[in-house]
Amino acid sequence: MASVIFEERVEVPLGLTGLADFRRWSVSPDFPETGRIDFLAGTIEVDMSPEDIFCHGVLKAEVAAVLQRRIKDHTLGLLLIDSTRVVCEQAQLSVEPDIVFVSHASLREGRVRLVPKASGEPGRFVEIDGPPDIVVEIVSDTSVEKDTVRLPQAYHAAGVREFWLLDARVRPATFRIQRWTPAGFVPVAGVEGRQWSEPLGCGYRLESRGNSLGGQDFDLVEG
């Protein structure tokens, strides 16, 4: 089968004709182990750029740590980071968000299901099928339009309850929680910088400050 090679590192088969083909490729041994490769409404988007340490990596670690503590303490569901593939057939979507939260209620009620590995081994899963309760994306230099336009549109079409968008390329870093409505995602009302998350039942604000290394440190504050 013919293929296209991106940046001499990612080989995409030309025979992929839709989401079903992409899903088969994404779980095959031929799928790249690094980089972010998403399927958005018929388009395959490849990003092999390394994450910026402070604008992306440190911020993602802070958000994930704070959310995981609440989710674990209150037995709310699953928090997943990087390389967790979210699929939604109705939105023609297969992506690996920065952070994903799936509630036990969504799994129990069948809005979301965990897709088992082809081997059928108990407790082994490779995809989330259906709309997560929360998707978090952090804006990167190489994917500004994707993070701020194409992904929000796709997540809305999929029925994601909340979309969190953070951008630490600016100072102070920006943080916005957006809630699903029939007309599109709508920013939640903020009170003294705090934005309320319905799926987590808690308010959040993001604090950022410069550090001695020239980057930024972050605190995602609950309350």
Q: For 39-65, write each residue's pLDDT tens digit.
A: 998 899 989 888 999 999 999 999 999
Per-residue exposure over 48-86, b if at least 16 CB sit within 10 Å of its own CB, e if not:
eeebbebbbebbbebbbebbbebbeeeebbbbbbeebbb
CATH of 51-222, one of 3.40.50.300, 1.10.10.10, 3.90.1570.10, 2.80.10.50: 3.90.1570.10
CA distances from 3 to 6, 8, 40, 66, 105 (A): 10, 12, 19, 42, 41
pLDDT at 8: 53
List pLDDT tens digits, range 112-142. Answer: 999 998 888 898 998 999 999 999 999 999 9
Residue 2's pLDDT band (cuts 50, 70, 90): very low
- Residue 5 banded pLDDT, cuts 50, 70, 90: low
Measured CA to CA in angstroms, residue 216 lies from 82, 93, 137, 210 at distances of 21, 33, 18, 4
Average pLDDT value over all residues in the chain: 92
Mean pLDDT of 148-171: 97
Any residues with CB less than 8 A from the CB of 99 and at least 6 apart, and which? 60, 63, 64, 67, 79, 80, 81, 134, 135, 136, 164
pTM of the model: 0.92
Percent of the chain at pLDDT above 70? 96
Q: What is the pLDDT of residues 8-18, one digit of tens each?
A: 567 888 888 89
Q: What average pLDDT score do residues 16-45 get?
A: 90
Flag whether pLDDT at 179 surpasses 60.
Answer: yes
Across 96-125, average pLDDT: 94
DSSP 41: T
Cα-Cα end-to-end distance for the chain: 54
Confidence of residue 37 (pLDDT cuts 50, 70, 90): very high
Number of Cβ within a 10 Å radius of residue 42: 11
Q: What is the pLDDT of residues 200-222, one digit of tens each?
A: 999 999 999 999 999 999 999 99
Report the percent of the chain where pLDDT is more than 90.
76
